[in-house]
Amino acid sequence: MFGNFTYCNPTKLYFGEDALNGLNTELPKYGKNVVLIYGGGSIKKNGIYDEVIKILKDNGKNVAEISGVMPNPTVDKLYGGVETARRHKADLLLAVGGGSVCDYAKAVSVSVNCDEDPWEKYYTRFEEPACETLPVGCVLTMVGTGSEMNAGAVITNPHTHQKIGHVFADEKIMPRFAILNPQYALTLPHYQMAAGIYDIFNHICEQYFSGEDDNVSDYISEGLMRSVIHAGRIANKDPQNYEARSNLMWAATWALNTLVSRGKSTDWMVHMLGQSVGAYTNATHGMTLAAVSLPYYRHILPFGVQKFKRFAVYVWDVNTAGKSDEQIAKEGLAAMESWMKELGLVMNISELGATPEMIEGIAGGTLIMNGGYKVLDHDEIVDILKESLA
Ligand code: NZQ
Ligand code: ZN
């Protein structure tokens, strides 16, 4: 275990079939002006909108709405939402949706009382808010990002082809509360469910594949990964399986609520590659990760053989008899690949709309992190992206 750290996670969770009742406990803590934020309409089709509105009205709230928050929310949509929240003198931002809606609410929260351009301040200069922020609450309907219990907010700027995540330092930006009812995710299309499963798994990988020290976080990560593999298989065959879907929801929250990164440097290069692919293609987040993962991990494996071997043995139960460390490590990735294919994930970026002509731009937009087993240079990024095309 190395490194000094602080750990604080103030998000209060309400989990299970009755979780929405938690809104009745939470809403009285805030003023009467609530901005309800949601996406393209799934919550109207599946009835969650009506349930939430009723509870808001029963609690005497004065509600304004920001609808149409798109997957991979854009900076232009952010500007519009900030205006709505200002006009409504919002006391609480209530996000009802997936990671896009939760992230967007956090981005509005840090921008409402800020005179500067939020894209410049938070996504170009990576500054922290110097103004009063608004509390965010979240009713989660899509499982994967962990946004319900973290301070991350990813915003896309389509004008500059940039998709940038800012993980805010202040835990006040984390949702004050999150409602986690696994039933709400049961109406997700299979494509989104599978993308979310891989997003969870990769969040754990991003934190696991770093460092060589003995760290309790890695043991927790191995347990979480085993659960995601197991529940993912069940949910893939039987999407309405409540037990599997609830395990996935709970694992997603723990995969990215900062716990398993404590004391570690962390990698995050799959996300940096995937986000840049997303900036060019507007593809589904989890699928962008799936499409670049194997070329990336095969590229860095020689620099982290011992960890990839451990991953093979403890996560994938690879039999080690008579094999070299490198063979075992490679078999771990092969096992991951067959699980990914079983889930029906997109395994190349061409299928997501990326073309050979885009590769230089995508590589240029990929932020280079230095916490993993190999700090990539531009040419390596280009090579990995080219391999991801097929
Ligand atoms: O917009 P609606 O109509 O609601 O449809 C959504 C959307 O089309 C649909 N959906 C959500 N819940 C549903 C449903 N459809 C039917 N039934 C339901 N119950 O699913 C689609 C995808 O939703 P979205 O919120 O975009 O998905 P996700 O949760 O994967 O969020 C993706 C965003 O989160 C960012 C990503 O980059 C991306 O912008 N991330 C945020 C992170 C964080 N805060 O820490 C970390 C992640 O790595 C990720 O980068
Ligand atoms: Zn992710």
Q: Which residue out of 164, 181, 192 has the highest number of ligand 1 atoms within 8 Å of its CB and is therefore the one to mutate?
A: 192
| CB within 8 Å of 116: residues ≥ 6 apart | none
> Does 7 map to a domain?
no
> 266 and 295, same structural domain?
yes
- Rounded Cα distance, 163 and 143, in Å: 20
Q: Tokens 């805010």 sit at which residue? A: 168
Residue 221 sits in the same domain as residue 96: no
Asked if the structure places residue 254 within a domain, the reply is yes
The reply to whether 212 and 292 lie within a common domain is yes
Residues with CB under 6 Å of ligand 1 are 39-43, 46, 71-72, 97-101, 103, 141-142, 144-147, 150, 152, 154, 165, 184-185, 187-188, 192, 196, 199, 256, 271, 285-286
CATH code at 109? 3.40.50.1970
Q: 170 and 204 share a domain?
A: no
Q: Among 185, 217, 242, where does a domain finish?
A: 185
State which of 77, 140, 145 you would mutate to test the pocket of ligand 1, scoring each by most atoms of that ligand within 8 A of its C-beta. 145
289, 251: one domain = yes
**Residue 361 and residue 268 share a domain:** yes
Flag whether 4 is in a domain. no
Last residue in a domain, options 150, 185, 220: 185
What is the number of structural domains in the chain?
2
Nearest CA to ligand 1 atom 47: 145
Domain assignment of residue 145, yes or no: yes
Do residues 142 and 208 share a domain?
no
Domain boundary among 167, 185, 203: 185
Determine, yes or no, domain membership for 115.
yes
Nearest ligand, CA 143:
1
Cα distances from 342 to residues 45, 154, 206, 236, 244, in angstroms, run: 29, 29, 21, 8, 16
Q: What's the CATH number where 279 sits?
A: 1.20.1090.10
Q: Are residues 283 and 175 in the same domain?
A: no
Residue 1 belongs to some domain of the structure: no
pLDDT per residue as tens, the chain (390 positions): 667 899 999 999 999 999 999 999 999 999 999 999 999 999 999 999 999 999 999 999 999 999 999 999 999 999 999 999 999 999 999 999 999 999 999 999 999 999 999 999 999 999 999 999 999 999 999 999 999 999 999 999 999 999 999 999 999 999 999 999 999 999 999 999 999 999 999 999 999 999 999 999 999 999 999 999 999 999 999 999 999 999 999 999 999 999 999 999 999 999 999 999 999 999 999 999 999 999 999 999 999 999 999 999 999 999 999 999 999 999 999 999 999 999 999 999 999 999 999 999 999 999 999 999 999 999 999 999 999 999
Residues 97 and 163 in one domain: yes
CA–CA separation, 150 vs 161, rounded Å? 25
Q: Is residue 381 part of a domain?
A: yes
* Ligand nearest to the Cα of 103, by number: 1
Full domain range(s) for residue 302: 193-389
Residue 204's alpha-carbon distances to 13, 17, 152, 375, in angstroms, are 20, 26, 16, 19
Residues 215, 273, single domain; the answer is yes
